[in-house]
């Protein structure tokens, strides 16, 4: 299992019959398990850039 900084969510490695890929870790209800909501993720930005944008 790994935490991706791009979206703040946990992902696990699934080894299928054809390929191995990462899938999002979800609750029993189907919600993503994240340390912050994906809507708040600063994809493509550094934390410093996001902080500077939030203070203007």
Tens-digit pLDDT profile for residues 13-33 = 999 999 999 999 999 999 989
Side-chain half-sphere CA neighbours of 44 within 13 A? 0
Scan for tokens 């410093």, then name that residue.
Answer: 48
| Confidence tier at 56 by pLDDT (50, 70, 90) | very low
Q: pTM for this one?
A: 0.56
Count of residues in the chain: 56
Listed by start position, the domains of the chain span 2-54
């Amino acid at each position: 299992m790994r935490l991706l900084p791009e979206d703040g969510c946990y992902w696990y490695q699934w080894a299928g019959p054809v390929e191995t890929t990462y899938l999002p870790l979800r609750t029993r209800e189907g919600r993503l398990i994240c340390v912050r909501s994906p809507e708040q993720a600063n994809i493509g930005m550094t934390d410093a850039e996001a902080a500077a944008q939030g203070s203007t």
